[in-house]
Structure 1
Amino acid sequence: MLNGPIPDSVQFSGHETFPLRQLWLRKAYEAATHSYYSTNAKLAFAPENGIRLFGVGKNMVAAIRHWALACDVLEEQTGGKIGVGSVGRTLFGSRGLDPYLEKPASAWWVHWLLAGRGRRSTTWWWLFNRVTEQTFDTDAVTASLAQAAAQGGHRVSPVTLKRDVDVCVRCYVARRDGREADDAAEPLLADLGLLSEGPTGTFRFRRGPQASLPDGLFALALLEFWESKQRVDGSGQATLSFEAIAHEFGAPGRVFKLDENSVGDRLVNLENISEGQLRWSDSAGVRQVSRMFKEAPDALKQRLLRHAYGK
């Protein structure tokens, strides 16, 4: 297991130990667009309102709010307000791509938001980027994460970290005891098959082609990784190597647990789905993607999302 830098901004709590459930992001969006709360969705999650609105306890209300913010379904705004985020509008708006989260692309997108961007989900980022063993146990992950947090100057209790790691893996692997048998309580990310459970406390990554991952979502993640890499490096490079795409921390190959052959297969399709704006080349031992924008990057991202959803 690799020890190394952790993101500058970290968060290890907020979910109240509840994994992200199937219907929660939709419910958060509906609450934020309710006529009573549309000017400030933060009010919908006040305990006296949220308990009535969602029909759950106050801790679960807080968890719904947390997950919606972590996935950019909701966003924090000036003046301490909360409003609908860009992902919320794209998925659930008047021309939403998947209003009821029925398509595999949505679960893969949420996974990328948590483990690729990792803005309120440090443990998700750590697990899918820094844990390199095929099989791992949660205690070892907690220990490595605690060491990295300490090295980064972040004070966090071991109990908080252990709970966060447990919630993270339970987002991908449903409980064996059947306590979450209700479809609505099933973790949203369980169907991705990225983790399987072994003996007590151990889990295994499932690497491979990830057949349900749409090419458009892979390409979107590639663009976002490229942008993030440029912000860190301060470079404006127009090419990105195969090795970076497949293996670097935060890269789609690593976050989606794709093997090298599967990454290569995805890259071959880039030129077609991006209408020539992303091009894969493999010649003279140089394997790389080149970028030639014909439209604004955000417009290309929307194009790739529509492709991912078959629009």
Structure 2
Amino acid sequence: MPRGPIFQDTYKPQFSGHETFPLRYGWLKKAYDAVAERAGDPNSKTAFTSEDAIARFGVGKNMVSSMRHWATCCGIIADGEGASELTTTELGDQIFGKNGFDPYMEHPASLWLIHWHLAGRPEKTTWHWSFNNFPGATFERERLVRALEKVAEDRAWPRVSATTIRRDVECFLRTYAAKIPSGKTSPEDTLESPLSELGLIKAVGKRDGFRFARGPKSTLGNGVFLYALINFWKHYSTAQTLSFEAIAHEPGSPGRAFLLDENDIADRLLDLEEFTDGAFRWSETAGLKQVFREVSLEEDTALDHAVSDYQPKKTKAAA
């Protein structure tokens, strides 16, 4: 039986909002700045809907809408208290704020955090299902489309058309694998999304062939890994322990979303106790592999761990 948040009765699918444009370089910073400049304004959504929004962002109307969509899905901005208000998030402030760690997204930690918000969390249906529920390692574009159509049909999701799913899959693939240019494609449309730098999806063989690149991820820091682990744990279980099997294989887990193999996950879990000063620790007793936690699963704590990846690594002093 299929598992994960997408298969819960209360789940609401999302296959649109991006206006067919994948996330592009500079968009999150521009969206963040537009909202930050209007902090406290009960009508701050007008930053993306007013007549001068096109001139301010330097892109077309649909792209402006797409920028807001991606900034929201990536956890950089969020709805405010009022119906017409937007606000920056703590994650957005940490990356793009006045004293942000990575305003131009030059550090891999930023890319992994953004990817986690898209693939580790269930709001973006194609993103979450493809990384967490798709059964194969290699696939063709059409196979992914048909598989999602089958999920939508089985779940009886209303107002989900085949055309909408096809466009969403196209956008998904362009997010992680650069679109192959053609004579009808403008230079702007062939630009890679920053998430393509993660190398999670590779083009193989013929034009519509792709492969999920499962294995160790050298640019994924333990701070972002722990951030994802805490996020997953908080939604998955209230227990003080979490099994290796869940961390590695459960839909929505770090193992699934980051396409990690079991050896890499085990190595990271072994480092948890030292990395967190005992707040989290790995145990392997009588064949039972699990992580214990001595702290609550708080978003602020998770983010503190994530931003540690931006700090210079300390080296042990010579004896």
* Same fold? TM cut 0.5: yes
CA-CA distance at 1:181 after TM superposition: 6.2
CA-CA distance at 1:86 after TM superposition: 2.8
Given that 2:177 and 2:192 are in contact with CA atoms closer than 8 Å, whether structure 1 keeps it comes out as no
CA-CA distance at 1:38 after TM superposition: 4.7
RMSD: 2.3
CA-CA distance at 1:150 after TM superposition: 2.5
Per the alignment, in what secondary structure is the counterpart of residue 211 of structure 2? strand
Q: Where in structure 1 are there 5+ consecutive unaligned residues? A: 231-235
Is 1:306 the counterpart of 2:289? The answer is no
1:160 to 145, 159, 164: 164
**What is the one-letter code of the residue matched to 2:69?**
H
1:218 to 219, 222, 225: 225
Summarize deviations over 1:27-86 as a string: whole Å, max 9, x none. 001111225995433101015122011011101111101101111211112331222123
**What is the one-letter code of the residue matched to 1:262?**
D
Match of 2:102 in 1: 98
Given that 1:38 and 1:83 are in contact with CA atoms closer than 8 Å, whether structure 2 keeps it comes out as no
Give distance in 2, aligned partners of 1:132 and 1:111.
20
Give distance in 1, aligned partners of 2:90 and 2:155.
30
Give distance in 2, aligned partners of 1:151 and 1:248.
21
1:112 to 110, 116, 134: 116
The alpha-carbon distance between structure 1 residues 40 and 88, as it changes in their structure 2 partners (threshold 3 A), is farther
Match of 2:254 in 1: 252
Match of 1:205 in 2: 212
Per the alignment, in what secondary structure is the counterpart of residue 52 of structure 2? helix
CA-CA distance at 1:132 after TM superposition: 2.3
TM-score by length of 2: 0.88
Give distance in 2, aligned partners of 1:36 and 1:263.
40
Match of 2:315 in 1: none
TM-score by length of 1: 0.91
Summarize deviations over 1:98-137 as a string: whole Å, max 9, x none. 1111100011111100000132x11100110111211011
Bigger drift between 47-56 and 109-118 goes to: 47-56
Summarize deviations over 1:180-226 as a string: whole Å, max 9, x none. 86799430101000010121222101111111111110111011110
**What is the one-letter code of the residue matched to 2:252?**
G
**What is the one-letter code of the residue matched to 2:154?**
Q
CA-CA distance at 1:299 after TM superposition: 4.0
**What is the one-letter code of the residue matched to 1:206?**
A
Is 1:187 the counterpart of 2:193? The answer is yes
The alpha-carbon distance between structure 1 residues 57 and 262, as it changes in their structure 2 partners (threshold 3 A), is same
Summarize deviations over 1:149-186 as a string: whole Å, max 9, x none. 23323120100000001100110011222868679943
Per the alignment, in what secondary structure is the counterpart of residue 31 of structure 1? helix
2:145 to 134, 142, 147: 142
Give distance in 1, aligned partners of 2:192 and 2:41.
29
1:285 to 287, 311, 315: 287
Give distance in 1, aligned partners of 2:213 and 2:252.
18
Q: Where in structure 2 are there 5+ consecutive unaligned residues? A: 313-319
The alpha-carbon distance between structure 1 residues 37 and 201, as it changes in their structure 2 partners (threshold 3 A), is farther
Sequence identity (%): 42
Give distance in 2, aligned partners of 1:254 and 1:299.
23
2:33 to 20, 30, 35: 30
CA-CA distance at 1:303 after TM superposition: 2.5
CA-CA distance at 1:13 after TM superposition: 0.3
